[in-house]
């Protein structure tokens, strides 16, 4: 019985930890998991075999510089937007599934936002657009 009570007490905090950010870029909405810690960033979307159409992952880096991504153990074709501290997109790239090629932003960035391949292009998102709804905005 005590274990059941403990689980019931923990469920609300687990739900909060799994909540998604609702990010907006112009008229487009993307629901994103938020990777803040080094281990969350390292794990990213590794091992995922599917990602809902309007879902992705937002990475927050500790410093502002031209950050890099790779797709080791990630079987999904993805696109990524790199953003500065204000959420303005400074670069957009496509990432190849399972590739160990390191792809870096062309400009300093605080954030990276991964989504299904083609999501940014399909929603008319371009360098210079601003991502709204990020933590701290």
Segment 53-80, tens digit of pLDDT: 999 999 999 999 999 999 999 999 999 9
The pTM of this model reads 0.83
Helix (H/G/I), strand (E/B), else coil: 37: coil
Residue 51 backbone dihedrals phi, psi, to 5 degrees: -145, 125
Residue 15 has pLDDT above 70, yes or no: no
Tracing tokens 């990432």 back to the chain, one arrives at 95
Q: Could you give the CA distance from residue 124 to residue 47 in angstroms, rounded to a whole number?
A: 28
Q: Could you give the CA distance from residue 75 to residue 108 in angstroms, rounded to a whole number?
A: 27
Residue 11 has pLDDT above 90, yes or no: no
**Domain made up of 31-122: CATH architecture:** Sandwich (2.60)
Q: How confident is the model at residue 16 (pLDDT cuts 50, 70, 90)?
A: very low
Angstrom distances, CA of residue 122 to CA of 44, 79, 81, 115: 23, 11, 13, 11
Other CB atoms within 10 Å distance of the CB of residue 49: 7
């Amino acid at each position: 019985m005590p274990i059941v009570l403990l689980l019931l007490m923990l469920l609300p905090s687990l739900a909060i930890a799994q909540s998604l950010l609702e990010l907006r870029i112009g008229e487009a909405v993307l629901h994103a998991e938020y990777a803040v810690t080094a281990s969350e960033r390292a794990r990213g979307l590794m091992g995922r075999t599917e990602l809902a159409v309007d879902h992705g992952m937002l990475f927050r880096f500790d410093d502002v510089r031209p950050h890099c991504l790779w797709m080791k153990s990630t079987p999904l074709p993805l696109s990524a937007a790199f953003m500065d501290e204000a959420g303005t997109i400074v670069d957009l790239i496509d990432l190849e599934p399972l590739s160990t090629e390191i792809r870096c932003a062309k400009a300093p960035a605080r954030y990276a936002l991964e989504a299904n391949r083609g999501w940014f292009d399909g929603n008319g998102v371009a360098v210079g657009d601003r991502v709204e709804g990020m933590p701290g905005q």
